[in-house]
Amino acid sequence: MGEAVGSGAGHASASDKTGSGMRDADDTSDEMHDASRDAQGPALSPQPGRTSDPEDEDAGSGRRWPWLLGGLAALALGAGTMATLIAAQDAPTSETPPPPLIETARVAAPGRTSLQQTGFLRPMSEVTVSSEINGRIADVADAFRRGNFVSAGEFLLRLETEQLQAAVSEAEAAIARAEAALAEARVERDRQRQLEGKGFASEARLQSAIVDTASAQANLTAARAGLVTARTRLDDAEVRAPFDALVTAATANEGDLAARGQELGRLVAAAAAEVDFGLTPADLRLLGEASRAVGGRVEIRAVSAATNPGETEPLAYGVVTRVGGSIESATRTVPLIVQIERPFEPSVVGGRALFVGELLKLKIPLDLSRRRAVAVPARALKGNDRIWRVETGAQDQSATLRGIDVEVLRRAETSVVVEGSLQPGDLVMVSDLTGAADGIAVRTAGQTEDAE
């Protein structure tokens, strides 16, 4: 019994604790509910005849949720409308885009142009000074020195002539003997003819006299030829200048032995010298044909400033005298022959004397007025040698492109000279426009670039 009682007491205590815990939880729930009502504001007093119900209060709180959902929906609708408007503004319109804007240039007259080339100065005539016979040099003229000028026929050198003069004297004596023999033979022939006519001499003796006369005549002719030879050899002992010349080499000295044909010096003609001007294919396109240059004046300048410091004016002027008969195999150019008068005399050329073999710069001015040539900026020349002319309307500012095929006559760094259906003053496109074609509309910039 005692244990039973104890057990029951134990159960009661546990039940009490459980009930107490439940009440504590209910009290806590009531406090939270009261706090929620305080946060929502003072409670409305119940209407007459109606008692306040906690469930009605919960229902009032639920009615506020639709308003919140409606506000969110309105915000979403406004955001969608704004996005639609922005997208509509960014969307491409159906309007035609404006024509492309291009830069233009003004076509100009080609102005002064020229052909330029370099060439080596060479003499028109050059001879080697030598002796026609063997002998010892007896005398050399003071003028026969390198760099001197000599006149036509002027004495240069002489070989020893004693033996040559003796040969002339012997030849003259041989002529005298031959003339005497001929005279004797003629007398004998005439005598035999008279005797044969009278019958005192035979025909054979007459014929022998005639033969002796002919032989004497031949001997006289040979003697006279020997005299010519002797005198020629005597003349050959003296060497003279064949024309007005510049001495470019002289190796003769008194007492030296000179063999026949041995070079004793060199002379070049002083009257004129020549330079070859090689026309390239590009030069021929600009000139048209090589013969058009014949008669043209050529400026002659030094290539290196070291040979002519401070040069401002041409060293000389030449004239194109003819066109070479064949194309130069090494350079594949057509040669023009430029002649320079008296190039080795400073007083004539005005600056300094030119030198044989000197490399010179040649310039031939050209007149392109007879050709349909114009100058345009290099940027205006497009592929396949085409230029786009900008054609504008008479009443408005509209402009279109028109392709013009041209022949390039001269290329420079910033400009080109072309021939075609362009006129000075025309506008041409210098921009790089993709898809350029005849008739497309373009807009032109206000400022244009002129051809230089």
Find out whether 276 and 119 touch, Cβ atoms under 8 Å: yes
What's the first-to-final CA gap in the chain, in angstroms?
A: 137
List all residues 6 or more positions away from 123 whose beta carbon is below 8 Å from its beta carbon: 268, 269, 273, 274, 356
pLDDT at 135: 93
- Dist CA 374 CA 380 (whole Å): 12
Could you tell me which CATH number the domain at 102-110+371-450 has? 2.40.420
pLDDT at 63: 54
pLDDT at 315: 87
pLDDT at 220: 94
Residue ranges per structural domain of the chain = 1-35, 54-95, 102-110+371-450, 127-265, 271-366
Core vs surface per residue 234-267: b (16+ CB within 10 A) or e: bebbebbbeebbbbbebebeeeeebeeeeebbbb
**Does domain 127-265 sit in CATH 1.10.260?**
no
Tell me which residue of 230, 90, 245 sits closest to 174, measured CA to CA.
230
DSSP string of 153-209, one letter each residue:
T-EEEEE--HHHHHHHHHHHHHHHHHHHHHHHHHHHHHHHHHHHHHTSS-HHHHHHH
User: Quick count: other Cβ atoms within 10 Å of Cβ 5?
Assistant: 9
What ranges make up the beta strands (E) of 17-134? 101-102, 104-106, 113-123, 126-130
Going from the first residue of the chain to its last (452 residues), give the mean pLDDT of each consecutive group of 10, the final group possibly shorter: 37 39 42 42 42 46 57 65 58 72 92 88 95 94 95 96 93 94 90 80 82 92 94 93 96 94 96 94 87 92 64 83 90 94 76 89 87 91 94 72 92 89 93 92 71 58
Tell me which residue of 286, 362, 356, 276 sits closest to 324, measured CA to CA.
276
